[in-house]
Amino acid sequence: MAAVEGDDSATTAGSTLGYALLSLLTRGPATGYQLTQQVKAPLGHFWTARHSQIYPELARLAAAGWVDSVEQAGPGPRAKKTYAVTAAGLAALRAWLVIPPTAQPRSEITLKAYAATSADPAAMAALYADLADRSTRVLAEYQQDAERMRAAGQDEPAHPRFGNYAVLMMGIESQRAVHRWACWLAACLRTGRAVAYGEPTAD
């Protein structure tokens, strides 16, 4: 244990963000800046991080031997670093992937619904009507992305970017769920009476 290098990779328990970055790097080498762009979509629909969190995390991953970096002259005062996942990093990612996750989701809009009766019904109805609208637009956008991906064969599990498609599918399901729920809740608050769930309302 004392003499062998790369020993860290066995004992270091990475953070969730670390594994997220590792997942991004399996799609090819990237700089911290590029990773910051890539966590926006489609990963960003279910996991986000700012650059201020990404740069230190990349340093930790490098220290653990899970990623390698090569430096080039950058546009700013510092060198530009391109990171790539190592064999140890890939092994760590693989091990983490098959552990069933336990974390509960957090949704502020659902939390607000919990206190819906404390607020002005009209204002709350407007809030959820707006949410329903927004989810319709987002859903249309996701559907287009999905169509593009299918045309590129990304819906095949063997495709290296199949994960992007899988995440997008969850995004579509989520937006549909939110849309149905928001429509129902808005109808309840607008009419002030119990509305059967799933029954279409005149919209």
Partner DNA sequence: CCTCACTATGTAACTTCTGACATGTCAACT
Partner DNA sequence: AGTTGACATGTCAGAAGTTACATAGTGAGG
Q: 67 by DSSP, 3-state: which? A: strand
What is the footprint of DNA within residues 77-96 (CB under 7 A)? 77-82
What is the footprint of DNA within residues 106-165 (CB under 7 A)? 106
Rule CB under 8 A: choose which of 22, 30, 35, 58 binds a second copy: 22
Spell out the residues 6+ positions from residue 71 whose beta carbon is closer than 8 angstroms to its own: 79, 80, 81, 82
CB-count exposure of residue 21 (10 Å: 0-12, 13-18, 19+)? buried
What is the footprint of a second copy within residues 71-100 (CB under 8 A)? 90, 93-94, 96-98, 100
CB of 176 to a second copy, least distance (A): 7
115 near a second copy, rule: CB under 8 A: yes
What is the helix (H) or strand (E) element at residue 30, kind and residue range? strand 30-31
Nearer to a second copy, 71 or 143 (CB): 143
Spell out the residues 6+ positions from residue 167 whose beta carbon is closer than 8 angstroms to its own: 42, 43, 45, 46
Quick one: which segment of 56-64, 133-141, 159-167, 172-180 binds DNA (CB under 7 A)? 56-64
164 near a second copy, rule: CB under 8 A: yes
- Pure H helices in the chain: 8-11, 16-25, 32-38, 51-63, 87-97, 108-114, 121-151, 162-191
Rule CB under 8 A: choose which of 107, 151, 200, 202 binds a second copy: 107
How many Cα atoms are found within 13 Å in the side-chain-facing hemisphere of 27? 16
193 near DNA, rule: CB under 7 A: no
What is the footprint of a second copy within residues 33-72 (CB under 8 A)? 42-48
Site residues (vs DNA, CB under 7 A): 15-17, 31-34, 36-37, 48-53, 55-56, 58-59, 74-82, 106
